[in-house]
């Protein structure tokens, strides 16, 4: 019997030869011959795999944008030749007779507060690493200023009108100078650092630690201004 390929009609051809498909099962077809009834190949991945992968890729892309957009350093805001800073000791110009509070309780005034601020600014420069503290003779820039105000304001009262929470404000005037030319690169008046603390109740604390936080906050603001915003 003569074998042949199947005719379009599915039966034998005019010469009476039978189609090859009659002699092979679906799994025994010659290589290269495909069945129109072949079942689709099962996926090796669980349902929803493609969608989950797409979402993961999108999240990765967004994360990269955030890192590249927000992860900059402030070095680009500084002239390339400005690498060191001399922090001149702050001057205490606070008028003790004008220390204000909106309640009868007089705020604590810390002796040598200007020294604490000077040390906090130096520590902040060391922490950021954007300008290295140096001596007056070797520094590229100079930071100087004076404390001008120390104030305490009430934030919250209890039903008996006793102050529950206070805000401390430490205020300074600051200048940032290039040493070689003695040019003022920027000057800002009334820089303010602040901190709050609870005075009564289970969460009460002394005023001194809050003052430490206010001085640290002022130092942070000063350093950020000197390396980023001029």
3-state SS, one letter per residue, for the chain: CCEECCCCCCCCCCCCCEEHHHHCCHHHCCCCCCCCCCCCCCCCCCCCHHHHHHHHHHHHHHHHHHHHHHCCCHHHHCCCCCCEEEECCCEECCCHHHCEECCCCCCCCCCCHHHHHHHHHHHHHHHHCCCEECCCCCCCEEEEEEEEEEEEEEEEECCCCCEEEEEEEEEEEEEEEECCCCEEEEEEEEEEEEEEEECCCCCCCCHHHHHHHHHHHHHHHHHHHHHHCC
Q: Write the pLDDT tens digit of every residue in 177-193.
A: 999 999 999 999 999 99
- Catalogue all structural domains in the chain, each as residue range(s) with its CATH number: 1-39 (no CATH), 76-228 (3.40.50.10610)
Q: Write the pLDDT tens digit of every residue in 33-91.
A: 555 555 556 556 555 545 566 656 666 665 555 544 443 344 446 788 899 999 999 99
Q: Write the pLDDT tens digit of every residue in 97-117.
A: 766 555 544 555 678 899 999
On whether the pTM is more than 0.85, the answer is no
């Amino acid at each position: 019997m003569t074998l042949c390929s199947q005719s379009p009609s599915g039966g034998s051809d005019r010469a009476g030869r039978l189609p090859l498909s009659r002699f092979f099962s679906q799994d025994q077809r010659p290589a290269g011959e495909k069945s129109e009834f072949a079942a689709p190949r099962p996926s090796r991945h669980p349902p929803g795999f493609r969608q989950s992968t797409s979402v993961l890729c999108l999240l990765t892309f967004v994360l990269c944008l955030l890192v590249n957009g927000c992860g900059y350093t402030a070095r680009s805001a500084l002239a390339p030749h400005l690498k060191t800073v001399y922090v001149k000791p702050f001057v205490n110009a606070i008028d003790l007779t004008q220390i204000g509070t909106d309640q009868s309780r007089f705020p604590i005034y810390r002796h040598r507060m200007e020294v604490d601020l000077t040390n906090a600014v130096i520590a902040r420069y060391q922490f950021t690493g954007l300008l290295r503290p140096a001596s007056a003779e070797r520094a590229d820039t100079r930071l100087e200023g004076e404390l001008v105000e120390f104030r305490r304001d009430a934030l919250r009262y209890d039903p008996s009108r006793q102050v529950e929470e206070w805000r401390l404000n430490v205020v300074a005037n600051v200048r940032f100078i290039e040493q070689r030319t003695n040019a003022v690169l920027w000057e800002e008046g009334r820089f303010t650092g602040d901190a709050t603390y609870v005075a009564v109740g289970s969460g009460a604390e002394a005023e001194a630690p809050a003052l430490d936080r206010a001085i640290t906050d002022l130092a942070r603001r000063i350093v950020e201004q000197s390396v980023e915003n001029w």
